[in-house]
């Protein structure tokens, strides 16, 4: 499976250091995880997705990184995941709607699992292109739930445009 240009863009924005510890929420088939794990030497990426079939595909795709203990995959919903506190340098998600159902609970989970100076990366690519209304709504949800938005980035791709919101918990 070829890696979509949006994932290459996202990996460049996340820019993990070789020792970074990362969490991907709803990793799908593990395409972005593969790009990230390839940049790690002593770091690791934990990937979760509620779909067991997606996790199986992600493990198969990232078998070499699993064997090197640079990547791990778990079939579980984000709200049900038991995540270690203060562990991750960066948490990221692509097209994940954890801002609409229980934003206070889910963003609190993210805040707790981030290390001091940790960052959250929220990526979205909608079929119609960059949706500024959606971008503003996500920023508002983040700010309402204890995050400070530090940057918003935009990318244009052959399929459509995307955006990335980078935020940090106010308590960190």
Compute mean pLDDT per 10 residues along the chain, 172 residues long, and list them. 85 98 97 97 97 97 97 94 94 85 88 95 81 89 95 88 94 60
Per-residue confidence (pLDDT) for residue 70, from 0 to 100 = 97
103-113 vs 132-144: helix crossing angle, rounded to 10? 70
> What domains, with CATH codes, occur in the chain?
5-10+19-169 (3.40.50.150)
Per-residue confidence (pLDDT) for residue 130, from 0 to 100 = 61
Per-residue confidence (pLDDT) for residue 159, from 0 to 100 = 74
H or E element in which residue 144 lies: helix 132-144
pTM, two decimals, is 0.94
Per-residue confidence (pLDDT) for residue 66, from 0 to 100 = 98
Per-residue confidence (pLDDT) for residue 114, from 0 to 100 = 97
Question: What would the 3-class secondary structure string for 1-58 be?
Answer: CCCCHHHHHHHHHHCCCCCCEEEEECCCCCHHHHHHHCCCCCCEEEEEECCHHHHHHH
Per-residue confidence (pLDDT) for residue 33, from 0 to 100 = 97
Residue 144 CA to residue 172 CA, distance in Å, equals 16
Per-residue confidence (pLDDT) for residue 127, from 0 to 100 = 74
Per-residue confidence (pLDDT) for residue 160, from 0 to 100 = 83
In the chain, how long is the greatest CA-to-CA distance?
A: 42
Q: Could you tell me if 121 and 91 are in contact, meaning their C-beta atoms sit under 8 angstroms apart?
A: yes
Per-residue confidence (pLDDT) for residue 163, from 0 to 100 = 94
Per-residue confidence (pLDDT) for residue 67, from 0 to 100 = 97
């Amino acid at each position: 499976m070829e890696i979509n240009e949006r994932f290459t863009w996202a990996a460049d924005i996340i820019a993990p250091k070789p020792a970074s510890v990362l969490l991907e929420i709803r990793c799908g088939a593990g395409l972005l995880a593969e790009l990230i794990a390839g940049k790690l030497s002593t770091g690791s990426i934990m990937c979760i997705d509620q779909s067991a079939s997606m996790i199986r595909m992600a493990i198969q795709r990232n078998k070499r990184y699993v064997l090197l203990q640079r990547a791990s995959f778990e079939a579980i919903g984000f709200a049900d995941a038991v995540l270690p506190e203060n562990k991750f340098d960066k948490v990221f998600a692509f097209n994940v709607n954890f801002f609409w159902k229980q934003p206070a609970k889910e963003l609190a989970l993210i805040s707790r699992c981030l290390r001091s100076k940790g960052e959250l990366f929220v990526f979205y690519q909608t079929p119609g292109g960059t949706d500024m209304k959606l971008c503003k709504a996500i920023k508002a949800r983040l700010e309402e739930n204890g995050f400070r938005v530090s940057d918003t980035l935009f990318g244009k791709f052959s399929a459509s445009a995307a955006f990335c919101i980078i935020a940090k918990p106010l308590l960190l």
